Amino acid sequence: MSKTFISLGKIIMKTKIIRRVILAVTLVLTFIFLLTHYDKNEYSRENLEAYVQRMGKLYDVQGLSAAIIDGENEYFINYGNYKKKPIDENSRFELASTTKSFTGLAIMQLEDAGLLSLSDSVTKYLPWFRPTYKNTEYDITIENLMCHTSGIPAWTISAIPAGTKSDNNLLEKTIQNIKDVKLDSLPGSQHKYATINFDVLALILEEITGEKYEDYVTKNILKPLGMHNSFFRTNDEDIDKIVQGYRPVFMRPKAYNAPTYYGNTAAGYLVSSTSDLMKWMKHWGVNSKDNSSLVDAMLNHDVSKSDGYFGGWWIYDDFITHGGNNPNFSTQVIISREKNQAVFVLSNIAGSSGTMIADGIYRILLGETIKIGLRFDIQAIGDFLCIIFILLLIYFVLLFWNKKSKKACIVRITISVIIIIAAIVLPLIFHYPYNIMFVWFPLTAIFAVILVVCVAVFNLYTAFRHIR
């Protein structure tokens, strides 16, 4: 008996030591994370390039390119390397959702040509598209799609199938997946951003023109603007033509070739470089020599009922903007409506780096002196919090694993059952299955979910054994 108590005491002492080590590691990791995401310096026009370089480091960006217009000055700031060569203004990145403004302009071209009207119903071109709101069919207009006021829920991004160019009619298959979707709101009543709205627009464009969406935009927008370094990534072989994408994994950037959703080309898969995007920004800027009536029509569209959104742009009195996120790229564009100032940032890591760096550059162009302070990328903070969660989970498992009273076992069984049910049901309720989470969420989040379920199952097993 005494030997048993001695052995039990040794085990308890070992778990105490392990718990203390875990707490120490948690504190050290937290300190390192905060330290590596902090900068105390101030930045202005005089050290703008130093600002971009520093932000690239803080956000763990492996490759970044910024196109900048500041009055008469047009220049590029680049950061990082790809294939042992420095990133430059000709390096190509996926544009993610900043692709939408090209789709919006294409739709306006069709309206200008008299081939459609913004007030047209989607069913005029796609008669099989019959979404419902509270069990009643409602017509969605092209304007609703352009403003994200269609009522189509944001979770429909999970309905977009991955595929290759060899898959026939993947765009149509994507829209077929939501043809009878239950709307979140009455069409035209609320702004709710859903990326698939612009895929519906692309399919309408194809129905009207008889051309593939990417062929139409290339011929009617990219080539006229001289954007010859840009293309739509419509097959997996094209991945060799762009920089490597990344995502954070255990506090380090990891190369990541994400699945490509070719049915979502019109909303996220234009590939371009800052040398080309300089031309795109000048097309929308105040000093544009080729600024068309279509651009004016888009920028002056009534956006009072759509939270300022129309045709792939957030439209404000003094500037227009849009950001983009693919599973391994981040982008942001900001163009002044009052001065000849603009910035387009391309980043090859998922998260908010493109947005935050572009915002800082634009504020500096406006004359601000900014201090970085603590800066956290949305994906990086998610990755870090999952690591801390995993460590604390192990800590509490060690703390309570030897609680064997009947009451304690009942509590353990109850909690374990809730966790297992939640892991099964919640992805179904929120329409985000684990395969989609694996693509878009930090990999540590999936690891954390797996670990929680494993712990719950083990806890359930041991608790039942103790009760018996």
Helix (H, G, I), strand (E, B) or coil at 5: helix
* Global confidence as pTM: 0.91
pLDDT per position as a tens digit, 110-134? 999 999 999 999 999 999 999 999 9
162 contacts: CB under 8 Å, gap ≥ 6: 259, 260, 261, 262
Neighbouring residues of 422: CB distance < 8 A, sequence distance ≥ 6: none
DSSP state string for 386-453: HHHHHHHHHHHHHHHTT--SHHHHHHHHHHHHHHHHHHHHHHHHTT--HHHHHHHS-HHHHHHHHHHH
Please give the Cα distance from 142 to 62 (Å, whole number).
39
Give the separation between CA 222 and CA 219, rounded to whole angstroms: 6
Spatial separation of the C-alpha atoms in residues 392 and 447, rounded to whole Å:
14
Tell me the per-residue pLDDT of 336-382, one tens digit each, with 9 for 90 and over. 999 999 999 999 999 999 999 999 999 999 999 999 999 888 899 99
Per-residue pLDDT of the chain (468 residues; tens, 9 = 90+): 444 434 544 544 577 888 899 999 999 999 999 999 999 999 999 999 999 999 999 999 999 999 999 999 999 999 999 888 999 999 999 999 999 999 999 999 999 999 999 999 999 999 999 999 999 999 999 999 999 999 999 999 999 988 765 666 889 999 999 999 999 999 999 999 999 999 999 999 999 999 999 999 999 999 999 999 999 987 777 788 899 999 999 999 999 999 888 899 999 999 999 999 999 999 999 877 655 788 889 999 999 989 999 999 999 999 999 999 999 999 999 999 999 999 999 999 999 999 999 999 999 999 999 999 998 888 999 999 999 999 998 888 887 766 667 787 788 788 888 888 998 998 888 888 888 888 888 889 999 999 999 888 888 887 777 676
The Cα–Cα gap between 91 and 271 comes to 10
Euclidean distance between CA atoms 339 and 361, whole angstroms = 15
Residue 431, token pair as written in the block: 């329409």
d(C-alpha 258, C-alpha 254), whole Å:
12
Distance of alpha carbon 377 from alpha carbon 328, whole angstroms: 13
Spatial contact of 364 and 51, defined as CB atoms under 8 Å apart: yes
Cα angle 252, 253, 255 (rounded to 5 degrees) comes to 135
Maximal C-alpha separation, the chain: 93
